[in-house]
Amino acid sequence: MTSFELRKQFLSFFKKNNHIVVPSSSLIPDDPSVLLTSAGMQQFKSYYTGAADPMVSPHLSLKGKPIGGVNVVSIQKSFRTSDIDEVGDESHLTFFEMMGNFSFGGYFKEEAIKYAKEFLDSIDITIDYVTVFKGDKDVPKDEESIKIWNELGFSQEKGNLKLENKEENFWGPTGSEGPCGPTTEIFVNGVEVWNIVFNEYYCGADGKLTKLKKSGIDTGMGLERLSMVSQEKKIIFETDLFKPIADAVPSSLDERVKRVCADHARSIVFLVGDGIRPSNKEAGYILRRLMRRVLVYENLYKDDGYDTLPLLKKAVEMFSEFYSEIKEDDIISVFSQEKTKFQTTLAKGLKELERVDSLDAKSAFRLYESFGLPYEIIKELGGKKAESLVQEDFDEQLDKHREISRAGQERKFGGHGLLLDTGELKAADEEELNIVTRLHTATHLLQAALREVLGNEVEQAGSDITADRTRFDFTFERKLNDKEVKAVEDLVNKAIKDNLKVEEKEMSYQDAIKTQALHFAKEKYPATVKVYSMGTFSKELCGGPHVSQTKEIGKFKIAKQESVAAGVRRIRGIIEEA
């Protein structure tokens, strides 16, 4: 069956059996304990614990409407960073579509197992064998599942039911804590296709299991693997989900390189589609690694005619039909920008890689830091020289460096007041520094505008600036209405248009206070401080850095507002090129 048909059949089977279809949530999770969405159940975590009620609680992927039922079905965009290094073999992937049916107290083992068997029968797939949890000191053997499978013709005697330990047949939690439980898994042609989790426990951050009030069902079946068995392919990259993309790689290239490029192209399309942009941290860093890896291949195999763009275009063509957030223009422009940025340093980095005698974590990290060569590339192209290099040691260097650079930045930016205790600016390189500087000046204008529109009770409660946005917290009781949002934006943009000069004056703290410059009453300032002012519109005590004229900021927009605590609101502001 085609993957198109499998998606359709899956949803309609469960719909017919009283499940509500819920759209995939974004790859950027709502759950701060994970970097990217890695399982179908993530958007439903709070229904298992009872923290949310599917009948009344607003649900994000339903535009804030409640689910309105306890049984749901979805096809979830998922990404597993843990598998990045395995990609290139026959079955590992980074991005995949996870099909799943879920129940929050509606049904349990019997229905879940029977649905799975019935669905696979309906699409002509024969189960090889199943596995069931054999029990350990904390969780008993799953006798109930054994009995249900026995009735369906599976047993240990026949050899098509196996008992497995916790390593194999216990799932979760995602992130540091959450629902989890024993599983039963279904194997077809030696491939695990369906994982059925019986969410009976809550695993705390300390690893302790407590029984959930209501048991739930969480199942996951990767569309790619199901397509592989349904389309009788031995290799996942030969299914219709990959073949057209892999075919855009010149046939002279190594099979493994071809697979990496096909996998990464698909992942890039989905990550950019969900609004992730390459950067040096978190999800942005994952995207950057994927992009740079294919860019290195472009560089190495240009004489063979390898180019990533046709792969990206193919992936867009294949998936934008189901995922409307995928926009070709965005993907091409984000990828091209990263390419331009990376090209200048790549050639030098490759030369340096050739020059060094051996590669340990430290020297590998230097290559990353100076030339932006990602770990995978160093490992791969380093060959014998990089034999002893392992990811953990490299990551350790990366973490160390991040701490040092944070401390360094605080020094660079004046190291007092705003930046140390109540706010933070984060930039990884000169380019990011330029953006955060513009956002920083915009943040001063934002505070002034908020006070003008909402009144002088508005006071800064914190700020955090990265290259993506400024996050400004301030004291105020309620959400701003649309009119107020617009008035604030307009005031900031007017101050930008007026191209005010940003003046910096050093003076004693006592004199600074007399000028009525905004400052934190509770903050300890040094004897000499800097006051930054822009016309008569804004005046603040601050360590800088700032642009010299407000026009440099570009256009300012309020992207989001939310509540942080009682009486404290948060605004996320962004800038666009004017």
- From residue 569, alpha-carbon distances to 108, 484, 572 in Å are 42, 14, 10
Q: Min. distance of Cβ 195 from ligand SER in angstroms?
A: 4
Does 219 participate in binding ligand SER (rule CB under 6 A)? yes
Q: Tell me which stretch binds ligand SER (CB under 6 A): 38-46, 362-370, 496-504, 529-537.
A: 38-46
What's the per-residue H, E or C state across 128-144? CEEEEECCCCCCCCCHH
327-386: contacts with ligand SER (CB under 6 A): none
Q: Min. distance of Cβ 47 from ligand SER in angstroms?
A: 14
Q: Min. distance of Cβ 242 from ligand SER in angstroms?
A: 21
Beta carbons within 10 angstroms of residue 145's beta carbon: 25
Does 439 participate in binding ligand SER (rule CB under 6 A)? no
Residue number with CB closer to ligand SER (22 or 488):
22
Q: Tell me which stretch binds ligand SER (CB under 6 A): 36-44, 200-208, 223-231, 304-312.
A: 36-44
Q: Tell me which stretch binds ligand SER (CB under 6 A): 33-41, 62-70, 271-279, 478-486.
A: 33-41
- Quote the distance between the C-alpha of residue 217 and its chain's center: 25
Preceding omega of 173 cis (within 30 degrees of 0)? yes
Query: Per-residue DSSP letters for 348-382?
Result: HHHHHHHH-S---HHHHHHHHHHH---HHHHHHHH
187-216: contacts with ligand SER (CB under 6 A): 195, 197
Residue number with CB closer to ligand SER (100 or 545):
100
Nearest to 261 by CA among 436, 23, 88: 88
d(CA 542, CA 92): 50
- Quote the distance between the C-alpha of residue 554 and its chain's center: 27
Under the phi-then-psi rule, with left for phi > 0, alpha for psi from -120 to 50, and beta for the rest, what region is 535? left
Does 218 participate in binding ligand SER (rule CB under 6 A)? yes
Residues 71-110 as x/- pattern, contact with ligand SER by CB under 6 A: -----------------------------x----------
Q: Residues 87, 212: contact at Cβ < 8 Å?
A: no
Instruction: Identify the helix (H) or strand (E) that includes residue 231.
Output: none
Phi, psi of 133 (to 5 degrees): -70, 130
Nearest to 48 by CA among 184, 217, 192: 217
Q: Residues 51, 57: contact at Cβ < 8 Å?
A: no
Does 40 participate in binding ligand SER (rule CB under 6 A)? yes
Residue number with CB closer to ligand SER (33 or 475):
33
Q: Min. distance of Cβ 180 from ligand SER in angstroms?
A: 9
Q: Tell me which stretch binds ligand SER (CB under 6 A): 35-43, 155-163, 241-249, 288-296.
A: 35-43
Does 29 participate in binding ligand SER (rule CB under 6 A)? no
Eight-state DSSP code of residue 385: G
Q: Tell me which stretch binds ligand SER (CB under 6 A): 203-211, 218-226, 364-372, 383-391.
A: 218-226
Q: Min. distance of Cβ 14 from ligand SER in angstroms?
A: 14
112-131: contacts with ligand SER (CB under 6 A): none
Q: Tell me which stretch binds ligand SER (CB under 6 A): 39-47, 453-461, 469-477, 551-559.
A: 39-47
Query: Helix, strand or coil for residue 189?
Result: coil
Residue number with CB closer to ligand SER (99 or 377):
99
d(CA 455, CA 476): 10
Residue number with CB closer to ligand SER (179 or 382):
179
Under the phi-then-psi rule, with left for phi > 0, alpha for psi from -120 to 50, and beta for the rest, what region is 381? alpha
Q: Min. distance of Cβ 102 from ligand SER in angstroms?
A: 8
Given 6, 22, 27, 39, the residue binding ligand SER (CB under 6 A): 39
Phi, psi of 346 (to 5 degrees): -60, -50
Which residue is closest to ligand SER by CB?
A: 220
Residue number with CB closer to ligand SER (219 or 280):
219
Beta carbons within 10 angstroms of residue 28's beta carbon: 14
Nearest to 69 by CA among 110, 8, 21: 21
Q: Tell me which stretch binds ligand SER (CB under 6 A): 34-42, 228-236, 306-314, 364-372.
A: 34-42
d(CA 224, CA 76): 12
Q: Min. distance of Cβ 41 from ligand SER in angstroms?
A: 5
41-60: contacts with ligand SER (CB under 6 A): 41
Residue number with CB closer to ligand SER (43 or 447):
43
Does 171 participate in binding ligand SER (rule CB under 6 A)? yes
Q: Min. distance of Cβ 454 from ligand SER in angstroms?
A: 44
Does 273 participate in binding ligand SER (rule CB under 6 A)? no
Question: What residues have CB less than 8 Å from 273, skipping those under 6 apart?
Answer: 323, 325, 326, 327, 330, 331
Does 179 participate in binding ligand SER (rule CB under 6 A)? no
Q: Min. distance of Cβ 328 from ligand SER in angstroms?
A: 30
Number of chain residues interacting with ligand SER (CB under 6 A): 10
Burial 322-332 (b: 16+ CB within 10 A, else e): ebeebeeebbe
Binding footprint of ligand SER on the chain (CB under 6 A)? 39-41, 100, 171, 195, 197, 218-220
